[in-house]
Amino acid sequence: MEEKVHRKSNADIKSIDDLTKIPFADRGRGNGGVDCWGCTMIAHKILTNKELPDFNVGAFNVGKIFAIINHQDEFGDWERVGGPSRGVILIIKNHPKFVNHTGVCIDDKHFIHSIEKANTVIEKIDHPLWKNRIHGYYKYTR
C-alpha cells in the first residue's frame, strides 16, 4: 500500500532561504515538510523556474529510488553534465549499496537537500561527507 504524499501548499516557499525552514517529512512536497525529492522539486523550481516530475516514492524505499534513478538516467529527460552549477541536480549514494538521494546545486560550491536527521539544509559540495558520494550531476531537459 502506498503511503500518503504530504501535498501541503508550497505557495509560501519563494526562496531557498524559505525552503531551509521546512522540516523533513517522508513523501513531503510542501510547507508541512519535504523529503529529498520534494526539496529537489521545490528548489529546482525556485532556481530554474522549471517543474520536475514527481516520482511518488517514499524516502525510505531505497530499492525503488535506485530503480527510478537508473531508469531516468538511461531513458528520462536528463542530461548528465560535468559538474555543479545553479539548478543542477546531484545524485548521491547515501546508502551502502544504492544511489538513492538527491539535492540541487544552488551555485558551483553549495547544494540544498533534505535528510531525516538534519531537515532541509545547505551544504558544501566538497564537504568530506558528500564529495565522494556524489554519483553525478544532471540537468532536466524537458
What domain range is 112 assigned to?
16-140
Residue 17: partners with Cβ closer than 8 Å, 6 or more residues away: none
Other Cβ atoms within 10 Å of 5 Cβ, number: 17
Domain count, the chain: 1
Look at residue 27 and give its three-state secondary structure.
coil
- 126, burial (CB in 10 Å: exposed 0-12, middle 13-18, buried 19+): exposed
Q: Is residue 85 part of a domain?
A: yes
The pLDDT score that the predictor gives to residue 55 is 87
Determine the pLDDT at residue 11. Answer: 65
Give this prediction's pTM.
Answer: 0.88
The pLDDT of residue 8: 55
pLDDT of residue 131: 92
What is the pLDDT at residue 9? 63
User: Going along the chain, which residue ranges are E strands?
Assistant: 29-30, 33-34, 78-81, 89-92, 101-105, 110-115, 119-124, 134-140
* Assigned C-alpha cell, 54: 514527481
Residue 3 forms part of a structural domain = no
Please report whether residue 106 resides in a domain.
yes
Q: What is the CATH number of the domain that holds 87?
A: 3.90.1720.10
Domain membership of residue 86 (yes or no) is yes
CA distance 72 to 93: 16
pLDDT of residue 60: 83
Residue 70 contacts residue 138 (beta carbons within 8 Å): no
Ranges of residues in the chain whose predicted pLDDT is under 50: 1-3
Give pLDDT, residue 30.
92
Q: Is residue 97 part of a domain?
A: yes
